[in-house]
Amino acid sequence: MTEIVMRNLGKDFGGFTALADMDLTIGSGEFVALLGPSGCGKSTTMNMIAGMLDPTHGEIRFDGRMMNGVPMAKRGVGFVFQNYAIFTHMTVRDNLAYGLRARGVAKPEIARRVGDIADLLQLTPLLDRKAARLSVNILQRLAIGRSAVVEPAIFLLDEPLSNVDAAFRAVMRSELKALQRQFRQTMVYVTHDQLEAMTMADRIAVMDHGKLLQVGTPLEVYNHPVDTFVARFIGAPGMNLLAGRVTSADTGLTVDLGAAGHCPIQAGQGGEVLFGFRPEEVHPDPKGPMEMTVTTVERIGARTILHLAAGSHAAKVVLDSETAVPDQGEAFRFSVSPGAVRLFDPQTERAL
């Protein structure tokens, strides 16, 4: 259990800035997901925490101890690689014992600790099997066990679910979360899948183009995105953003959305805005103030996704499959409750 503090952390590769001025504190025992599209700097950040890369500037501290320049073997960091990096020429037991042997732990102690971790991860029946022909979920558990057995203070996971098919990913997500509760280590998890981040992490750090955009609990990030990138990236589908204009009338403030109608809001100043609302926050309402044309109806089981258009606006709406929905080409009238509206500055794209 270790607190990780990154201050003004940055990494340049030649002229390319992979990470710029990152300030992030990861609490002891916390599960933080670094989330962003590929090339956003999340893996660079993780590799610097592990010590595989040296930062260009800034510092990393574990529990106050300066880590810059400390070789990776001495950092006490467990790392689960994207492809698990299992020693396939060894047995499961030798894989699990590897770190303990490297540290010169006594044989009976190694046997005991390998036995314990194998029990915990349900690997006991496989201990004497060669690691070469194990299934992906067992390889993943083995990778976690191999790192966990030396009791690292920090656990880093680099997209461990990206090699797994979608159906299996759901199983692994809950398995990983359960393991984290058992180990209680500080965990940093790199992913480009917002669903993984939302379901597992205590806090999410959203990154793009080498910049840390927002840090917060999954719900904070979902409900109060700091800018349009986060708003679009989090959620499936992401937040709708329509260009509009705040006007005040006797009845209160509204956003004029032109062809799509208008929507009352709680607060805001006059002027151009980006009007944001979650696809899930839409109420079908025959007398509603907004109207758009249905371009596509996607039925995906429990939910139905409507693709809407009006003038230059485009939006998506998620409804229960029981809700009656208009057909393609028909008009869809709806309202968005004022509390669910998020406004962004069209120039800076930051939340207002």
Q: Which of the stretches 87-95, 173-181, 228-236, 286-294 binds other proteins when contact is defined by CB under 8 A?
A: 87-95
- Non-local (6+) Cβ contacts of 251 within 8 A are 264
Q: Which of 56, 98, 129, 309 binds other proteins (CB under 8 A)?
A: 98
In this complex, which beta carbon is closest to other proteins, that of residue 105 or of residue 314? 105
Q: Which of the stretches 97-105, 111-119, 204-212, 303-311 binds other proteins when contact is defined by CB under 8 A?
A: 97-105
Q: Which of the stretches 14-22, 83-91, 256-264, 270-278 binds other proteins when contact is defined by CB under 8 A?
A: 83-91
Does 260 bind other proteins (CB under 8 A)? Our answer is: no
**Helical packing angle, 136-148 and 92-102, nearest 10°:** 20
- Non-local (6+) Cβ contacts of 189 within 8 A are 31, 32, 33, 34, 156, 157, 160, 196, 197, 200, 201
Does 127 bind other proteins (CB under 8 A)? Our answer is: no
Quote the CA–CA distance of 226 and 110 in Å, as a whole number.
Answer: 48
Does 219 bind other proteins (CB under 8 A)? Our answer is: no
Q: Which of 87, 237, 284, 346 binds other proteins (CB under 8 A)?
A: 87
In this complex, which beta carbon is closest to other proteins, that of residue 102 or of residue 331? 102
Burial degree of 239 (CB within 10 A; 0-12, 13-18, 19+): buried
CB 97 within 8 A of CB 146: no
Does 85 bind other proteins (CB under 8 A)? Our answer is: yes
73-76 contacts, C-beta under 8 A, 24 or more apart = 75/50, 75/51, 75/154, 76/2, 76/152, 76/153, 76/154
Q: Beta strands 203-208 and 31-35: pairing type?
A: parallel
Quote the CA–CA distance of 262 and 67 in Å, as a whole number.
Answer: 54
Q: Which of 14, 16, 64, 73 binds other proteins (CB under 8 A)?
A: 73
Q: Which of the stretches 75-83, 116-124, 195-203, 324-332 binds other proteins when contact is defined by CB under 8 A?
A: 75-83
Q: Report DSSP state, residue 130.
A: B
Q: Which of the stretches 6-14, 93-101, 199-207, 256-264 binds other proteins when contact is defined by CB under 8 A?
A: 93-101
Phi, psi of 332 (to 5 degrees): -125, 120
Does 72 bind other proteins (CB under 8 A)? Our answer is: yes
From residue 258, how far is each of 13, 160, 238, 243, 292 by CA, in Å?
Answer: 46, 46, 22, 9, 11
Q: Which of 3, 39, 70, 81 binds other proteins (CB under 8 A)?
A: 81
Least CB distance to other proteins at residue 81 (A): 5
- Non-local (6+) Cβ contacts of 86 within 8 A are 95, 131, 134, 139, 142, 143, 146
CB 73 within 8 A of CB 45: no
Does 79 bind other proteins (CB under 8 A)? Our answer is: yes
Other C-beta atoms within 10 Å of 166: how many? 8
Least CB distance to other proteins at residue 103 (A): 5
Q: Which of the stretches 19-27, 56-64, 96-104, 112-120 binds other proteins when contact is defined by CB under 8 A?
A: 96-104
CB 34 within 8 A of CB 205: yes
Span 8-67, contacts to other proteins by CB under 8 A? 50, 52
Does 275 bind other proteins (CB under 8 A)? Our answer is: no
- Residues 138-157, one symbol each (x = binds other proteins by CB under 8 A, - = not), give --------xx--x-------
Q: Which of 8, 25, 83, 137 binds other proteins (CB under 8 A)?
A: 83
Q: Which residues contribute to the site for other proteins (CB under 8 A)?
A: 50, 52, 72-73, 77-79, 81, 83, 85-87, 89-90, 98-99, 101-103, 146-147, 150
